[in-house]
Structure 1
């Protein structure tokens, strides 16, 4: 693959403008962005991971989503596989609950002892979660105690891609790691759980590192979104260098 094929670059003219303004910076970006894309992940998996980091609700960077959906298709991904990624990472909105509920409990406490029927329902939901996901985290206990109906809705919603989607379990964990590790999310409890899960599914240290590295380079979006404004405002003031297209 060419350098452009291995980076997060797209066809947007902003890259040409960046090459005019600061070609050395673009070269340094190409080097860091191409490194994980040329690493231990196969091409399709790398593109699905990059898609996850751009499509997560904490990023929602449309040019990146479009770029990596297209590249995933070109690498052999199916529509069902791409939708699997998108549906899975839509569930990270639940982190409002997993972060908010412990604070709520600190301030307001837990409900009084539940009746037997509620306890049985909570235990059933816990068993279902463990059976479908292969793990349990104690942070869910408080959610169950306060609102087990919400937890049931969340379980059904988030389990849908796990039950019907075509992705390999290890790739699923890579996708979630990418969303949790992205700088604009950094959800450490989930990151630890899903790194552990990925390793349990047979992932190597180097593969997980490549996932994290792919997520790290979304910072370039600062440049691609800001540069057109810099050029426009500089042109309006006749401040552009002579060798830069007006």
Structure 2
């Protein structure tokens, strides 16, 4: 079980040499709160409405608000990140030929197109070992869709990169999710983008206070 103490330990290690930096802006706080309430592990519909009003009143554009939802919806791929390597390992134990056979021409092309030599995916492999390969082998269609869908909020770019990383960090850290591979990845990305200790700790405090999932009528 991943405890809040485990999250605190990871964060303290990453932040030990990071300076204070600037606090979150009012709009940053509102967008992070909106994202948490829209996340699959919370889905607080009243909170979504409340923070949409508050974010727009604080100067957010309609595109920024909706891009927040699109970004958070893509974090549902954690089902694949956690599940695909496990299923692949089970299939390998059962000597399923698809797990050991050379990649076919379509699989090779997809890998070259979406992964190739991009060092960003080395970070993904470190945090979620075997995910991309197992997804590609089990479903080339899902592999392609993963890259296309998760890329949408980065192509539309209504939000700056740093707040997208903080939103992702918050959702991964909230008590109902606690997805450490994503938390570590987005924490490092935020630091690389120049986010300081103060804003990161504020983000995590907001995440810790996220409401529980009460269901959707």
Normalising by structure 2, what TM-score? 0.77
The question of 1:157 aligning with 2:140 is answered no
CA distance in 2, matches of 1:135, 1:207: 26
Give the superposition deviation at 1:165.
2.8
Q: Which has the higher contact order (CA 8 A, sep 6+)?
A: 2
Give the superposition deviation at 1:116.
4.5
Find the partner of 1:175 among 161, 167, 170: 167
Cα displacement string for residues 25-57 of structure 1 (whole angstroms, at most 9, x for unaligned residues): xxxxxxxxxxxxxx9100001100011111101
Number of equivalent positions: 181
Look at both structures and tell me which one has the larger radius of gyration over its CA atoms: 1
The question of 1:77 aligning with 2:60 is answered yes
Q: 1:1-246 counterparts in 2 under 5 A?
A: 40-109=23-92, 110-127=99-116, 130=118, 134-136=120-122, 137-138=124-125, 139-219=131-211
CA distance in 1, matches of 2:195, 2:121: 17
Give the superposition deviation at 1:127.
3.5
Which residues of structure 2 form unaligned runs of 5+? 1-21, 93-98, 126-130
Normalising by structure 1, what TM-score? 0.68
Which structure features the higher share of helix residues? 1
Root-mean-square deviation over aligned CA pairs: 2.1
- Asked whether the 8 Å contact 1:40–1:210 carries over to 2, the reply is yes
Q: Helix, strand or coil for the counterpart of 2:24?
A: coil
CA distance in 2, matches of 1:147, 1:69: 36
Aligned position for 2:18: none
Aligned position for 1:28: none
